[in-house]
Amino acid sequence: MLAAEGRVVMVSGASRGIGAAVAARLAGAGYRLSLGVRNPALPPVGDPRNCLVARYDASEREAAQQWVAATLARFGRIDAVVNNAGILNRTGIEDEDERALDRLWLINVKAPLRVIRAALPSLKRSGAGRVVNIASLAGKRVRNADTGYAMSKFALMALTHGVRRLGWEHGIRASAVCPGFVATDMSAGAPGVERAAMIQPEDLAEVVALLLALPNNAAIAELLVNMRFEDTL
């Protein structure tokens, strides 16, 4: 297992839900953190000396480069990226207004691509770079009319495998975490699903911590996390 000490992890969407749980778990493990949030007034997580809270708006074209630059200015290195920021817009095949689909593509696909692209030179230098993309079981199968959301998560899966291929010889390992319903604001009001039965953000954070700690010769490309018995594909 890789030691956490000295390693720097960027986490997007770290102000609440899965991102906040991941940040807390990694801070407790001894990682140095760069938290990308829209409101940089968020207090640091853990030891303030080991935590940078940086402004990051996934909808802005230059935000990824600025966040990476701020991280390098503070810590001098980047060893891992956790792309957690994402949205759920309900849009289907018959919806002719494509604004919701465009925003899904911007936030769920292009934003993580831009973060990875900006961080890639540093991840290569690490020799044990890690990219963890928080996807969804919707990135593995389509079970409802929210086709646009599924399309964005399928694309995030493709991005994960593209990074895995590109970075392999440099020691970069990319993983997609595909959970079912997680008890966050995004899943509030999900029909027919009790909140107590959903995956807890803290449990998903344990999964992320495992993926970051695995050595180069024990990589997991996709990890599907179920909250109930169901076909996964």
Distances (CA, A) of 89 to 131, 152, 176, 195, 208: 25, 10, 20, 20, 25
In this predicted structure, what is the pLDDT of residue 232? 66
Mean pLDDT of 44-69: 98
> pTM of the prediction?
0.97
Q: Over 80: is that where the pLDDT of 108 sits?
A: yes
* Residues 27-55: tens digit of each pLDDT: 999 999 999 999 999 999 999 999 999 99
Give the tokens for residue 116: 């990875």
- CA nearest neighbour of 26 among 107, 94, 81: 81
149 is known as an active-site residue: yes
**Dist CA 131 CA 65 (whole Å):** 16
Dist CA 144 CA 61 (whole Å): 31
Three-point CA angle 55, 33, 153, nearest 5°: 70
Given a contact cutoff of 8 angstroms between Cβ atoms, the answer to whether 148 and 165 are in contact is no
* Catalytic member of 56, 67, 75, 149: 149
List, for residues 123-134, the tens digit of each pLDDT value.
999 999 999 999
Domains along the chain?
A: 8-225 (3.40.50.720)
